[in-house]
Structure 1
Amino acid sequence: MGDINLEGVTKTYDRWAPIYDFVFGKVFDEGRRSTIAEADRIGGRVLDVGVGTGLSLSDYSRTTKLCGVDISEGMLRKAQQRVREFGLTNVETLAVMDAKQLAFKDASFDAVVAQYVITAVPDPEATLTDFVRVLKPGGELILVNHIGAENGPRRAFELAFAPLARRLGWRPEFPWDRLVNWAAKHGGVTLAERRPMPPMGHFSLIRYRKS
């Protein structure tokens, strides 16, 4: 499996920033709304990692306190514009940050939301571990992501498409076993839900609860 490097991801998403909402807004809409509903159910203080252009921010309940981080300055500039435009006073901060090295204290958040992030970071397991670090005990890690097919035509397509996908900043062949193995090794999380998402179950909403 080839590597994704942080500098490459940053440049890719800076380039995508001007057209990201138009290209990806509708494709990822169902997963985005589902993760927000779960975060609002928990409430309190929520960290949205990979907040991007801030498409999600106005959909959260105004009673949910939000912190948003992203590796792309270009994306965050659009998110900041959105906060001003919609008067989102529940957004505490938006900051450029590496998802694997979050500049927050342990147990800072009631929930961590990461939408379409795990397949786009260089070290998914270390990134997930840092997400759990900043969660309060009993808090939830809420992911929505593409999980690679285990066999069949979709698996063959994903492997063939992988080199191009990496240049776009993500891995299409990410297997479920990587999450299973990470959770077992971590030992401090419990799988609460895995729910297929449209289109055609290519994406999954995945919730882990911190012990």
Structure 2
Amino acid sequence: MAKINHSIEHQQKVYQKWAPIYDRVYRGFLGDAHRTVAKLAADAGDDILEVGVGTGLILPHYPARCRVTGVDLSEHMISKAREKVERQGLDHVKALHVMNAHHLDFADRSFTAVCLPFVITLIPDPERALDECARVLKPGGEIIIASKLGHGRGLQGAIEEVVAPLAHRVGWSSAFRISRIADWAARRGDFEVAEIRPVFPNGFFKVMRLKHRLSA
């Protein structure tokens, strides 16, 4: 199989192309996952960081009581998100920044929840990004990940590997394993996998909750 390019430059080019039409393509298809992410994040607390905020499709789903900060690698996506916040009067969105997930420019223990919606499979070094998410997370908080997360077993795993290059053309990976995230949590020792929730369509996407252990 040809090597897949996960470079930052590649992702910037992908999302520059998709930014103008992203909402039309994905609003309905990802709606269940977006609502689930927003609810789980709000259940964890009011101070929320969304890494990979994109055009801001999830932003309207957060409760008004929340204080939401969004970051994205793409200036084009952030521009669309800012337009959405202004147009829809989303006062709970406090800030939107162009930022690399490998280097989050926030103080330690700033947020009660950190969300990564449909971005973890695209980050060149996911473990490094998760470490950054853990750093800015308040004690007892949650990291919430939504993605096409594969199991890598049997026929489903084989199919995921075959379609990986095709999915990558629209900025996704089908070969990323749930076990990779679980292994990261196990190595750290201060996080546990609290839930893996299948969402529309028919469990093709998953929402994964990683809970910080206060006693770790």
Name the TM-score, length of structure 1 as normaliser. 0.94
- Give the conservation status (yes or no) of the 8 Å contact 1:142–1:206: yes
| Correspondence 1:171-186 to 2 at 5 A | 171-186=173-188
Give unmatched runs, 5+ long, in structure 2: none
Q: Deviations over 1:108-153 (max 9, x none)?
A: 0011111111111111111111111100000111111111142343
> Which residue in 1 is equivalent to 2:58?
56
What is the CA-CA distance between 1:40 and the residue it aligns to?
1.7
> Which residue in 1 is equivalent to 2:100?
98
- Give the conservation status (yes or no) of the 8 Å contact 1:197–1:203: yes
1:118 aligns with 2:105: no
What is the CA-CA distance between 1:169 and the residue it aligns to?
2.4
In 2: Cα distance, 1:201 partner to 1:59 partner: 21
Percent identical residues: 42
What is the CA-CA distance between 1:86 and the residue it aligns to?
1.4
What is the CA-CA distance between 1:168 and the residue it aligns to?
3.0
What count of residue pairs does the alignment treat as equivalent? Answer: 211
Match of 2:110 among 108, 112, 118: 108
- Give the conservation status (yes or no) of the 8 Å contact 1:8–1:169: no
- Give the conservation status (yes or no) of the 8 Å contact 1:4–1:169: no
In 2: Cα distance, 1:157 partner to 1:179 partner: 20
Amino acid at match of 1:39: A
> Which residue in 2 is equivalent to 1:137?
139
Q: Deviations over 1:94-118 (max 9, x none)?
A: 0001112111111000111111111
Greater shift, 12-21 or 192-201, is seen at 192-201
- Give the conservation status (yes or no) of the 8 Å contact 1:145–1:203: yes
Q: Secondary structure at the match of 1:114?
A: strand
In 2: Cα distance, 1:55 partner to 1:163 partner: 25
> Which residue in 2 is equivalent to 1:34?
36
- Give the conservation status (yes or no) of the 8 Å contact 1:35–1:113: yes
In 2: Cα distance, 1:18 partner to 1:77 partner: 10
In 2: Cα distance, 1:23 partner to 1:42 partner: 29
Give unmatched runs, 5+ long, in structure 1: none
What is the CA-CA distance between 1:35 and the residue it aligns to?
0.8
In 1: Cα distance, 2:50 partner to 2:61 partner: 12
What is the CA-CA distance between 1:3 and the residue it aligns to?
4.4
In 1: Cα distance, 2:94 partner to 2:128 partner: 26
In 1: Cα distance, 2:203 partner to 2:140 partner: 28
| Correspondence 1:180-199 to 2 at 5 A | 180-199=182-201
